[in-house]
């Protein structure tokens, strides 16, 4: 039987787009691509970064620290961010132009104040599953296609975890944008994903086929 394909749309939320609290350069440019891609898959899922106000990834919750600083939380390296994607705020909502009618399930991550979660599958210490891996396995998905924000954080860790879970992983390069906190982070992230076994593809390779 031919493998079933899922599209994972990572964090297409207002706070990562223009005017958002953690705007990723060009973030909103991927929304139109996401809309075009959705009908080409057996299954479409989406993630939302979904933090409580007192989340430990927010610089504001670490007196004396600033955005971009790196510290340790509960033994794990943590980059400190501006407050973003606070649960039930407009910043955490999907971009208003994103089509949502094809999404079969939404996975929230970063909900525990004490630990961040860049991957759509597990928190950063792999302590708790979001349920995404189990869901895709139950749906007999073999190939996962990852797109969204941000290339060097949530897209990267989602892709690496998908590979660990033995999915074939395709990262749709032109449908991702990165934070690039440090110059070269996006290139490095792509190299890491490639080295781990992901395929980097262009959306046209999917769109040229029939839906
Ligand atoms: C993300 C930084 C903090 C992401 C989420 O979606 O890539 N980056 N939280
Ligand atoms: Zn976050």
Pocket test for ligand 1, best of 47, 84, 115 (most atoms within 8 A of CB): 84
Percentage of the chain exceeding pLDDT 90: 97
Q: What is the mean pLDDT of the chain?
A: 96
Question: Which secondary structure element, helix H or strand E, spans residue 136, and what is its range?
Answer: helix 132-138
pLDDT above 90: residue 209:
no
Pocket test for ligand 1, best of 111, 123, 149 (most atoms within 8 A of CB): 149
Q: Which domains does the chain have, with CATH numbers?
A: 4-52+95-207 (3.40.50.850)
Q: Is 153 in the pocket of ligand 1 (CB under 6 A)?
A: yes
- SS3 state of residue 158: helix
In sequence order, the β-bridge partners of residue 170 are 145, 199
Instruction: Specify the ligand 1 atom closest to the Cα of 11.
Output: 6
Q: Inform me whether the pLDDT recorded for 211 exceeds 80.
A: no
What value, to the nearest 5°, has the Cα angle with vertex 14 and ends 10 and 20? Answer: 120
For 59-107, the DSSP string reads GGGSTT--TT-EEEETTEEEE-B-S--BTTSGGGSBPTT---TTEEEEE
Establish whether residue 49 lines the binding site of ligand 1, counting it when its CB lies within 6 angstroms of any ligand atom. Answer: yes
Q: Tell me the pLDDT tens digit for each residue of 102-137.
A: 999 999 999 999 999 999 999 999 999 999 999 999
| Integer Cα distance of 130 and 128 in angstroms | 7
| Ligand 1 atom at shortest distance from the alpha carbon of 110 | 9
pLDDT tens digits for range 66-89: 999 999 999 999 999 999 999 999
154 in catalytic set: yes
Ligand 1 atom with the smallest distance to the CA of 154 is 7
């Amino acid at each position: 039987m031919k493998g079933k394909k899922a599209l994972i749309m990572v964090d297409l939320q207002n706070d990562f787009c223009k005017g958002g609290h953690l705007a990723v350069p060009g973030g909103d440019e991927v929304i139109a691509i996401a809309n075009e891609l959705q009908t080409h898959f057996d299954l479409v899922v989406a993630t939302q970064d979904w933090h409580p106000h007192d989340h430990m990834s927010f610089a504001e919750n670490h007196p004396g620290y600033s955005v971009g600083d790196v510290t340790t939380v509960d033994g794990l390296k943590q980059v400190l961010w501006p407050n973003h994607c606070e649960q039930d705020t407009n910043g955490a909502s999907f971009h208003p132009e994103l089509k949502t009618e094809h999404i079969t399930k939404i996975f929230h991550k970063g909900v525990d104040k004490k630990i961040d979660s860049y991957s759509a599958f597990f928190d950063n210490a792999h302590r708790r599953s979001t349920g995404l891996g189990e869901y895709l396995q139950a749906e007999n998905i073999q190939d996962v296609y990852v797109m969204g924000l941000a290339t060097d954080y949530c897209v990267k860790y989602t892709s690496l975890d998908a590979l660990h879970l033995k999915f074939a992983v395709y990262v749709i390069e032109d449908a991702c944008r990165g934070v690039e906190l440090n110059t070269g982070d996006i290139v490095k992230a792509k190299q890491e994903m490639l080295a781990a076994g992901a395929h980097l593809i262009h959306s046209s390779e999917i769109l040229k086929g029939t839906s």
